[in-house]
């Protein structure tokens, strides 16, 4: 008798589990289908602007949250300003009612711009900062700290030097060929040849000098971690000296090697 009761309970539990599984699967499929339909509606923003303008605003938040990455992808890249403004309105609606769903992708997209972000993205960020300044500050701090522990300053310098090394050697070979040609010109005095070579070196290496100074500036800001403070104390002066020496054409080959060796032991 006890065995029969236990068996019946087991069957009931198994049935309940099957029902719950089916409901969960149905909700998942329904959510994906709704998200697809919702996102597809934004493709016809120009043709159906009069009908979509009011309709998009009454769509529940959940479908928009499902397609947030696609909304951001189209916010700055869509050629039609009207579509970008519609997407801006949707993201601002999310910013007001569900800020946690968009604050991270907003800051990531803003940080990805080397210059000023798009007008629409700037408006979305402005809305978040006005309504939830502490949330924006905390998420930005988290992003910065993740960057600090993901890529250390010595790794940034090693990457920069490795990227520039091939270009520097190519430019040096060009300068060698020009210097050899100038050396054969008997009409020029020794001082004139040195002045010409120095001027050409400065012009040829100007992009490299800019890249090195840009990297130096990025690692000369106020340190935010003990490791960054150690790096500045250990290498800041050496890096400055190497960059200054690199600009001197008479020792360019030597200091190009020195610049790469500064962080070699890291």
Separation of alpha carbons 164 and 151, rounded Å: 18
Exposure of 203 by Cβ count < 10 A (0-12 exposed, 13-18 middle, 19+ buried)? exposed
Q: What is the pLDDT of residue 215?
A: 94
Select the more confidently predicted residue: 117 or 136: 136
Name the average pLDDT for the chain.
76
Q: Which residue has the tokens 């599984």?
A: 21
Do 136 and 159 sit in the same domain of this protein?
A: no
Last residue of a domain, one of 95, 127, 150: 150
Do 214 and 245 sit in the same domain of this protein?
A: yes
Report yes or no on 163 lying in a domain. Answer: yes
pLDDT digits (tens, 9 = 90+) for 25-69: 444 444 444 445 455 555 555 555 566 666 666 777 777 778 888
Separation of alpha carbons 104 and 139, rounded Å: 7
Q: What is the pLDDT of residue 249?
A: 57
Separation of alpha carbons 105 and 139, rounded Å: 10
Q: How confident is the model at residue 158 (pLDDT cuts 50, 70, 90)?
A: very high
Domain that holds residue 130: 48-150
Separation of alpha carbons 186 and 184, rounded Å: 6
Last residue of a domain, one of 150, 167, 202: 150
Q: What is the pLDDT of residue 52?
A: 64
Q: What is the pLDDT of residue 127?
A: 92
Q: What percent of the chain has pLDDT over 70?
A: 71
Residue 130 has pLDDT above 90, yes or no: yes
Q: How confident is the model at residue 16 (pLDDT cuts 50, 70, 90)?
A: very low
Considering only CA atoms, give the Rg of the chain. 30
Residue 231 has pLDDT above 90, yes or no: yes
Separation of alpha carbons 112 and 117, rounded Å: 9
The answer to whether the beta carbons of residues 266 and 158 sit under 8 Å apart is yes
Report yes or no on 13 lying in a domain. Answer: no
Do 66 and 145 sit in the same domain of this protein?
A: yes
pLDDT digits (tens, 9 = 90+) for 189-220: 888 888 888 888 888 899 999 999 999 999 99
User: What's the rounded mean pLDDT across residues 235-262?
Assistant: 67
Do 141 and 84 sit in the same domain of this protein?
A: yes
Domains held by the chain: number: 2
Q: What percent of the chain has pLDDT over 90?
A: 24
How many Cβ atoms sit within 10 Å of the Cβ of residue 103?
22
Q: What is the pLDDT of residue 264?
A: 45
Phi, psi of 199 (to 5 degrees): -65, -40
Do 122 and 174 sit in the same domain of this protein?
A: no
166: left (phi over 0), alpha (psi -120 to 50) or beta: alpha
Task: End-to-end CA distance of the chain: give it in Å, rounded.
Answer: 74
Give the CA distances from residue 2 to residues 9, 10, 15, in Å, rounded to whole numbers and listed in that order. Answer: 11, 12, 20
How many Å separate Cα 127 from the centre of its chain? 21
């Amino acid at each position: 008798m006890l065995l029969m009761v236990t068996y019946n309970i087991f069957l009931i539990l198994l049935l309940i589990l099957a029902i719950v599984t089916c409901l969960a699967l149905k909700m998942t499929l329904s959510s994906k289908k709704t998200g697809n339909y919702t996102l597809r509606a934004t493709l016809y923003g120009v043709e159906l602007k009069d009908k979509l303008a009011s309709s998009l605003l009454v769509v529940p938040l959940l479908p928009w949250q499902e397609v947030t990455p696609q909304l951001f992808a189209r916010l700055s890249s869509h050629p039609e300003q009207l579509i970008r403004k519609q997407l801006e309105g949707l993201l601002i609606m999310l910013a007001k009612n569900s800020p946690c769903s968009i604050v991270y992708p907003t800051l990531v997209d803003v940080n990805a711009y080397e210059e000023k972000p798009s007008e629409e993205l700037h408006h979305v960020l402005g809305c978040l900062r006005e309504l939830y300044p502490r949330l924006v500050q905390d998420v930005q701090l988290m992003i910065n700290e993740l960057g600090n522990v993901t890529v250390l300053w010595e790794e940034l310098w090693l990457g920069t030097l490795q990227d520039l090394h091939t270009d520097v050697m190519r430019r040096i070979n060009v300068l060698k060929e020009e210097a050899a040609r100038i050396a054969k010109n008997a009409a020029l005095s020794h001082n004139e040849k040195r002045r010409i070579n120095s001027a050409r070196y400065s012009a040829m290496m100007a992009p490299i000098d800019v890249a090195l100074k840009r990297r130096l500036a990025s690692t000369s800001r106020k340190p935010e971690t003990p490791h960054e403070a150690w790096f500045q104390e250990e290498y800041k002066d050496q890096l400055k000296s190497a960059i200054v020496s690199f600009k001197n054409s008479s020792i360019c080959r030597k200091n190009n090697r020195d610049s790469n060796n500064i962080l070699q032991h890291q």
